Chains A and B, each alone.
Chain A
């Protein structure tokens, strides 16, 4: 089993998805080791509750296991697929939970990195290469985000993490609708261009 896990953990995400579709539990475990942390981080940012975020991670990977045929490699990488599902599910849960209370959106970007206590130690099974790649990508993303105009970064984060439409952002920030739309659009375009550059 240990040998099989090692072999599986060296496969790329697309191959792991194929293996999962074929019923390979070790492949699911390997994909979980690689991306569960990121899925959990995203869920926690949106839901701001560890238990709810863990439930969401479970749901996302369980859905992946049960409905692996729904993944279309032509539409994007498995990581994108996982994060897209995770965001969609998290937004739905957030809306359900927010029914009876008003939500104050934190516009202070410095508070967006949730500090729910020290990061727990985990028996991370992902290899050192996976961690290095994730670390490097994270640095690139953070670097790209830091280059965005503050208004663009704020608009993108409010829409993606806080489920606000452009009209809701405009109302919340007291800005013209057209300005907010432009900020979101230009923010995404600049982010995409920054990530394309080596």
Chain B
């Protein structure tokens, strides 16, 4: 494990191996935590081996200008941002993503607990693994909840208002047997601007030479239009924003994700289903 921690700090592990290290660290191993801290400090210094470069002077001005007046710093006791202030573009991603991550982690915990309850009492090894998974997911829920609280206390009430508007509909996608347990996605369908905001979590990396494609699918399954490609990050998360074709109506449209050859123009699903919505948007 100690060797794995070193490789983890350098970013050299495959995703499955990195997950194993994260689970181990989440279990609270003090020696490995200390080893990781030292390794991270060492690898971080690799930046010094590069020829120094400088950002433009305007960048600092932009940062300090963004801070604005001292009262504008995100804090629970500060007043809400002016109603005329435009919602930061990233809030549209972060808030729904944080909400989605909390929900996904919660669903994954319920799933893990049900799996655990179904195991024979004598299968101790499987129970231990399930307990570790629950521990990791619980820690993630707490972290996501803290992030969500921080974002909300930053005066981004506009995002909550956006999420509550009647023109917003939702699609839920579940992972098929091709994907890890707990994987899924949710789509926020902004019917006013006819845009899909797609957020996936727990999705494994696409196979070599392949990528994931999101599809608009009619409820009768007869029509499928490509919505866009995505590749999950190291945490299994991905997001996508795409305009919805006029032919796709909320009560007659579902969604699906397949794996398709990378670097090619795809007009119809040819790969295997990875994520599927079983009910139209509502």
Partner pick for B11 among A44, A87, A140, CB 8 A cutoff: A87
**Residues of chain B contacted by A69 (CB below 8 angstroms):** 150
B13 contacts chain A at the CB level, 8 A cutoff: yes
In Å, the complex CA distance between A120 and B58 comes to 12
- Output the least CB separation between B229 and chain A (Å): 6
Stretch at the interface among B65-73, B113-121, B189-197, B266-274: B65-73
Residue pair A188, B44 in contact (C-beta under 8 Å): no
A14 CB-CB contact with B under 8 Å: no
Q: CB distance A165 to B12 under 8 Å?
A: yes
Most buried by A among B38, B40, B46, B154: B46
Whether, in the assembled complex, A36 has its beta carbon less than 8 Å from a beta carbon of chain B, the answer is yes
Q: Chain A interface mostly helix, strand, loop or mixed? A: helix
Segment 82-114 of A: residues with Cβ below 8 Å from B: 83-84, 87, 91-92, 95-96, 99-102, 112-114
Residues of A within 8 A of B40 (CB): 75-76, 80, 84
Within 8 A of A (CB), among B48-84: 48-57, 59-60, 62-64, 66-67, 70, 73-75
- Please tell me if the beta carbons of B48 and A65 are within 8 angstroms of each other in the complex: no
Contact B42 A160 (CB under 8 A): no
- Are B231 and A95 touching (Cβ within 8 A)? yes
Q: Select which of A54, A76, A77, A181 is within 8 A of B7 by beta carbon.
A: A181
Q: Are A184 and B50 in contact (CB under 8 A)?
A: no
Q: Which of A37, A69, A165, A167 has most B Cβ within 10 Å?
A: A165
With both beta carbons as reference points, the residue of chain B lying nearest to A187 in the complex is identified as B10
A42, A54, A62, A155: the one within 8 Å of B66 (CB): A62
**Shortest beta-carbon distance, A122 to chain B, in Å?**
5
Does A192 have its Cβ within 8 Å of any Cβ on chain B? yes
Select from chain A the residue with minimum beta-carbon distance to B18.
Answer: A165
Residue from the set B49, B52, B262 with the largest chain A CB neighbour count within 10 Å: B49
Q: How far is the CB of A83 from chain B (nearest CB, A)?
A: 4
Of residues 1 through 56 on chain B, the ones whose CB sits less than 8 Å from some CB of chain A are 3, 6-7, 9-15, 33, 37-56
Report if B243 contacts A (CB, 8 A).
no
Chain B residues with CB under 8 A of A36: 55, 59-60
* Interface flag for A13 (CB, 8 Å): no
Query: Is A38 in contact with B263, judged by CB distance below 8 angstroms?
Result: no
Instruction: Report which of B39, B60, B73 forms a contact with A29, defined as CB distance below 8 A.
Output: B60
Instruction: Give 30 pairs: A residue, B residue, CB < 8 Å, sorted on A.
Output: A40-B55, A54-B59, A57-B59, A58-B62, A65-B67, A67-B147, A76-B40, A80-B40, A80-B41, A80-B44, A84-B44, A92-B234, A95-B231, A99-B229, A102-B263, A119-B53, A122-B57, A134-B48, A140-B48, A141-B46, A141-B49, A142-B48, A159-B12, A160-B46, A166-B14, A184-B12, A188-B9, A188-B10, A188-B43, A189-B6
* Given A37-B53, A114-B51, A114-B53, 19 other A-B residues pairs in contact with their CB atoms under 8 A: A28-B64, A29-B64, A41-B51, A41-B52, A54-B55, A57-B55, A61-B63, A80-B40, A80-B41, A91-B11, A119-B53, A142-B49, A145-B46, A159-B12, A165-B12, A181-B3, A188-B10, A189-B6, A192-B39
